[in-house]
């Protein structure tokens, strides 16, 4: 239960500056301990939802289930797209994204906005594939290409 076959990698980063506005794709983000990402609408102290992550390997599955060709990461409104590590296995565990220490708090379930973003049935197409919410324990900066790995203890 504590073994991972490999580390993950940050593939995409996005910030939501406000409700109902498009995601802003960035190359790096500043994480603030106990809060969230600087420049993100949840960055002022959302605690358990300081950062949201989704698995890159799930994007094609969501697209197939939604009946569309492909999904741009910004459509799903998660802060990070990560490949190579099973995110749901990080629930309740500490992990690092580059220099930032996080703790997985809960699955990041889809919201009703996915019906508009992905079309009829979009909410259900994402169920089980929504990713992970995490709190930020130690702040810092992370970038595209940084590793994501489990931290013991």
Q: Is the pLDDT of residue 4 over 90?
A: no
Question: Could you tell me the residue ranges of all domains in the chain?
Answer: 8-141
Pairing mode, if any, of strands 132-138 and 100-107?
antiparallel
Closest CA to 95 of 117, 80, 77, 116: 80
With pLDDT > 70 as the criterion, what percentage of the chain qualifies?
Answer: 96
The CATH topology of domain 8-141 is M1 Pyruvate Kinase; Domain 3 (2.40.33)
| Residue 48 CB neighbour total at 10 angstroms | 11
94 strand-pairing partners: 103, 151
> pTM of the full predicted structure?
0.92
Reported as a single tens digit per residue, the pLDDT across 65-121 is 999 999 999 999 999 999 999 999 999 999 999 999 999 999 999 888 888 888 999
Reported as a single tens digit per residue, the pLDDT across 50-67 is 999 999 999 999 999 999
Token couple for 141:
């900066």
Closest CA to 111 of 80, 145, 83, 78: 78
């Amino acid at each position: 239960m504590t073994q991972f076959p490999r580390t993950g990698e940050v593939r995409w980063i996005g910030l939501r500056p406000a409700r109902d506005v498009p995601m802003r794709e960035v190359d790096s983000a500043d994480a603030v301990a106990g809060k969230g990402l600087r420049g993100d609408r949840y960055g002022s102290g959302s605690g358990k939802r300081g950062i949201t992550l989704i698995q890159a390997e799930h994007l094609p599955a969501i697209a197939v289930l939604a009946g569309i060709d492909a999904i741009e990461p910004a459509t799903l409104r998660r802060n990070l797209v990560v490949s190579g590590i099973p995110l749901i296995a990080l629930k309740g565990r500490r992990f690092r994204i580059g220099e930032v220490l996080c703790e997985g708090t809960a699955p990041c379930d889809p919201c009703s906005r996915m019906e508009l973003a992905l079309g009829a049935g979009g909410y259900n197409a994402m169920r089980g594939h929504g990713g992970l919410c995490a709190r930020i324990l130690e702040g810092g900066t992370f970038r595209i290409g940084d590793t994501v790995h489990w931290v013991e203890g």
